[in-house]
Structure 1
Amino acid sequence: MWRSSGIQKAASNIEKHGVRFSDAATVLEDGMAMTVLDDESDPSEQRLVLLEADASGSILVVVYTWRGNDIRLISARRAEPREREEYEKQ
Protein backbone atom coordinates (compact mmCIF):
# COMPACT_ATOMS: atom_id res chain seq x y z
CA MET A 1 0.00 0.00 0.00
CA TRP A 2 1.22 3.51 -0.75
CA ARG A 3 0.57 6.77 1.00
CA SER A 4 1.63 10.32 0.30
CA SER A 5 3.56 12.53 2.66
CA GLY A 6 0.38 14.50 3.32
CA ILE A 7 -2.14 16.68 1.57
CA GLN A 8 0.18 19.71 1.42
CA LYS A 9 3.03 17.64 -0.04
CA ALA A 10 0.72 16.11 -2.66
CA ALA A 11 -0.60 19.57 -3.63
CA SER A 12 2.94 20.95 -3.74
CA ASN A 13 4.01 18.12 -6.05
CA ILE A 14 1.19 18.94 -8.49
CA GLU A 15 2.16 22.62 -8.42
CA LYS A 16 5.89 21.95 -8.91
CA HIS A 17 5.81 18.98 -11.27
CA GLY A 18 2.27 18.63 -12.62
CA VAL A 19 2.02 15.00 -11.46
CA ARG A 20 -0.57 13.69 -9.01
CA PHE A 21 0.61 11.18 -6.43
CA SER A 22 -2.38 8.99 -7.33
CA ASP A 23 -1.06 8.80 -10.91
CA ALA A 24 2.49 8.18 -9.72
CA ALA A 25 1.31 5.36 -7.47
CA THR A 26 0.15 3.37 -10.51
CA VAL A 27 3.74 2.91 -11.70
CA LEU A 28 4.72 1.45 -8.32
CA GLU A 29 2.65 -1.62 -9.17
CA ASP A 30 4.79 -2.52 -12.20
CA GLY A 31 7.35 -5.16 -11.32
CA MET A 32 9.40 -4.25 -14.41
CA ALA A 33 10.06 -0.66 -13.32
CA MET A 34 13.64 0.56 -13.19
CA THR A 35 14.47 1.23 -9.53
CA VAL A 36 17.73 2.48 -8.00
CA LEU A 37 18.84 3.56 -4.55
CA ASP A 38 19.06 7.33 -4.10
CA ASP A 39 22.63 7.60 -2.85
CA GLU A 40 22.16 11.31 -2.08
CA SER A 41 19.40 10.71 0.46
CA ASP A 42 19.71 10.96 4.22
CA PRO A 43 21.21 7.71 5.56
CA SER A 44 18.47 7.54 8.21
CA GLU A 45 15.82 7.21 5.46
CA GLN A 46 16.63 5.01 2.48
CA ARG A 47 15.03 6.52 -0.61
CA LEU A 48 14.44 4.76 -3.90
CA VAL A 49 14.08 6.31 -7.35
CA LEU A 50 11.84 4.57 -9.87
CA LEU A 51 11.50 5.22 -13.61
CA GLU A 52 8.44 3.82 -15.36
CA ALA A 53 5.82 4.76 -17.94
CA ASP A 54 2.37 5.63 -16.65
CA ALA A 55 -0.91 4.71 -18.33
CA SER A 56 -0.64 7.67 -20.73
CA GLY A 57 2.89 6.70 -21.78
CA SER A 58 4.68 9.48 -19.89
CA ILE A 59 7.84 8.28 -18.19
CA LEU A 60 7.76 9.29 -14.55
CA VAL A 61 10.51 9.60 -11.96
CA VAL A 62 9.06 8.65 -8.57
CA VAL A 63 11.00 9.01 -5.32
CA TYR A 64 9.72 6.95 -2.41
CA THR A 65 10.69 5.21 0.81
CA TRP A 66 9.31 2.36 2.88
CA ARG A 67 7.60 3.08 6.20
CA GLY A 68 6.88 -0.30 7.71
CA ASN A 69 4.75 -2.11 5.13
CA ASP A 70 3.68 1.11 3.39
CA ILE A 71 5.33 3.00 0.56
CA ARG A 72 5.61 6.73 1.27
CA LEU A 73 5.70 8.87 -1.87
CA ILE A 74 8.15 11.75 -1.66
CA SER A 75 8.00 13.25 -5.16
CA ALA A 76 6.97 12.46 -8.71
CA ARG A 77 7.78 14.23 -11.96
CA ARG A 78 8.09 13.61 -15.67
CA ALA A 79 11.47 12.26 -16.74
CA GLU A 80 14.03 14.58 -18.29
CA PRO A 81 15.40 13.67 -21.75
CA ARG A 82 18.50 11.88 -20.41
CA GLU A 83 16.34 9.88 -17.98
CA ARG A 84 13.97 8.89 -20.80
CA GLU A 85 16.95 7.70 -22.84
CA GLU A 86 18.20 5.65 -19.89
CA TYR A 87 14.75 4.14 -19.39
CA GLU A 88 14.36 3.29 -23.08
CA LYS A 89 17.72 1.47 -23.09
CA GLN A 90 16.43 -0.85 -20.37
Structure 2
Amino acid sequence: MNTYSNSLFEWDSVKERINIQKHGIDFRTASNVFLDPIRIERFDWEHSQGEDRYITVGMVEKNLLVLNVVYTDRENTIRIISARKANKEEVRQYNEHSLL
Protein backbone atom coordinates (compact mmCIF):
# COMPACT_ATOMS: atom_id res chain seq x y z
CA MET A 1 0.00 0.00 0.00
CA ASN A 2 1.38 3.39 -0.99
CA THR A 3 0.44 6.27 1.26
CA TYR A 4 0.76 9.95 0.41
CA SER A 5 1.56 12.14 3.41
CA ASN A 6 2.50 15.79 3.86
CA SER A 7 2.07 15.74 7.67
CA LEU A 8 -1.35 17.42 7.50
CA PHE A 9 -3.00 15.01 5.07
CA GLU A 10 -2.47 11.43 4.03
CA TRP A 11 -4.22 8.91 1.82
CA ASP A 12 -3.86 5.55 0.16
CA SER A 13 -2.71 6.15 -3.43
CA VAL A 14 -4.60 3.08 -4.71
CA LYS A 15 -7.79 4.33 -3.09
CA GLU A 16 -7.17 7.75 -4.64
CA ARG A 17 -6.91 6.23 -8.14
CA ILE A 18 -10.17 4.37 -7.58
CA ASN A 19 -11.78 7.60 -6.34
CA ILE A 20 -10.60 9.48 -9.44
CA GLN A 21 -12.08 6.79 -11.70
CA LYS A 22 -15.37 6.73 -9.79
CA HIS A 23 -15.86 10.42 -8.91
CA GLY A 24 -13.28 12.40 -10.93
CA ILE A 25 -11.80 13.98 -7.77
CA ASP A 26 -8.18 13.57 -6.67
CA PHE A 27 -7.38 13.75 -2.96
CA ARG A 28 -4.99 16.72 -3.28
CA THR A 29 -7.91 18.77 -4.62
CA ALA A 30 -10.16 17.31 -1.92
CA SER A 31 -7.73 18.42 0.81
CA ASN A 32 -8.45 22.04 -0.16
CA VAL A 33 -11.95 21.71 1.28
CA PHE A 34 -10.33 22.14 4.72
CA LEU A 35 -9.27 25.68 3.73
CA ASP A 36 -12.92 26.73 3.44
CA PRO A 37 -13.70 28.68 6.64
CA ILE A 38 -17.45 28.07 6.28
CA ARG A 39 -17.32 24.35 5.49
CA ILE A 40 -19.86 22.08 7.19
CA GLU A 41 -18.47 19.22 9.28
CA ARG A 42 -20.30 16.36 10.92
CA PHE A 43 -19.64 12.99 12.48
CA ASP A 44 -20.39 10.04 10.18
CA TRP A 45 -22.48 7.83 12.46
CA GLU A 46 -23.26 5.34 9.71
CA HIS A 47 -19.65 4.48 8.83
CA SER A 48 -17.79 4.90 12.12
CA GLN A 49 -17.46 1.26 13.12
CA GLY A 50 -13.87 0.65 14.19
CA GLU A 51 -12.71 4.23 13.79
CA ASP A 52 -14.36 7.64 13.89
CA ARG A 53 -15.16 9.05 10.47
CA TYR A 54 -16.19 12.57 9.59
CA ILE A 55 -17.80 14.25 6.60
CA THR A 56 -17.05 17.78 5.52
CA VAL A 57 -18.80 19.70 2.76
CA GLY A 58 -17.04 22.77 1.47
CA MET A 59 -15.94 24.85 -1.48
CA VAL A 60 -12.72 24.38 -3.46
CA GLU A 61 -11.25 25.83 -6.65
CA LYS A 62 -12.23 29.48 -6.32
CA ASN A 63 -15.89 28.92 -5.50
CA LEU A 64 -16.55 26.63 -8.44
CA LEU A 65 -16.89 23.23 -6.79
CA VAL A 66 -18.56 22.02 -3.60
CA LEU A 67 -17.18 18.67 -2.39
CA ASN A 68 -18.20 16.02 0.12
CA VAL A 69 -15.05 14.60 1.74
CA VAL A 70 -14.97 11.63 4.13
CA TYR A 71 -11.96 11.42 6.43
CA THR A 72 -10.53 10.23 9.73
CA ASP A 73 -8.29 12.14 12.12
CA ARG A 74 -5.24 10.06 13.03
CA GLU A 75 -2.90 11.71 15.51
CA ASN A 76 -3.49 15.18 14.03
CA THR A 77 -3.19 13.94 10.45
CA ILE A 78 -6.29 13.97 8.27
CA ARG A 79 -6.59 10.71 6.33
CA ILE A 80 -8.85 11.22 3.33
CA ILE A 81 -11.01 8.19 2.58
CA SER A 82 -13.20 9.44 -0.28
CA ALA A 83 -14.25 12.60 -2.08
CA ARG A 84 -16.99 13.42 -4.53
CA LYS A 85 -18.95 16.37 -5.85
CA ALA A 86 -21.63 17.33 -3.36
CA ASN A 87 -25.17 16.35 -4.35
CA LYS A 88 -27.96 18.91 -4.76
CA GLU A 89 -29.12 18.62 -1.15
CA GLU A 90 -25.58 19.04 0.20
CA VAL A 91 -25.03 22.10 -2.02
CA ARG A 92 -28.34 23.56 -0.80
CA GLN A 93 -27.33 23.00 2.84
CA TYR A 94 -23.90 24.50 2.19
CA ASN A 95 -25.42 27.58 0.53
CA GLU A 96 -27.87 28.07 3.42
CA HIS A 97 -25.03 27.64 5.92
CA SER A 98 -22.86 30.17 4.08
CA LEU A 99 -25.55 32.83 4.51
CA LEU A 100 -25.40 32.61 8.33
Matched, 1:26 2:32: yes
Matched, 1:71 2:57: no
Unaligned runs of 5+ in 1: none
Matched, 1:88 2:99: no
2:5 corresponds in structure 1 to none
**2:18 is matched with which residue: 1, 12, 19?**
12
- Cα separation, 1, equivalents of 2:49 and 2:18: 24
- Deviation at 1:31? 3.2
What TM-score comes out, normalization by structure 2 length?
0.83
State, as a whole percentage, how many aligned pairs show the same letter: 34
**2:46 is matched with which residue: 40, 54, 73?**
40
- Deviation at 1:77? 0.2
Equivalences, count: 89
- Cα separation, 2, equivalents of 1:53 and 1:29: 9
User: Which secondary structure does the structure 2 equivalent of 1:31 belong to?
Assistant: coil
Higher relative contact order (CA 8 A, sep 6+): 1
Following TM superposition, the consecutive aligned residue runs of length 4 or more in structure 1 with deviations greater than 6 angstroms are: none
- Cα separation, 2, equivalents of 1:76 and 1:29: 15
- Deviation at 1:7? 1.2
User: Which has the higher Rg, Structure 1 or Structure 2?
Assistant: 2
What TM-score comes out, normalization by structure 1 length?
0.92
1:52 corresponds in structure 2 to 58
Q: More deviation in 12-21 or 47-56? A: 47-56
- Cα separation, 2, equivalents of 1:85 and 1:30: 16
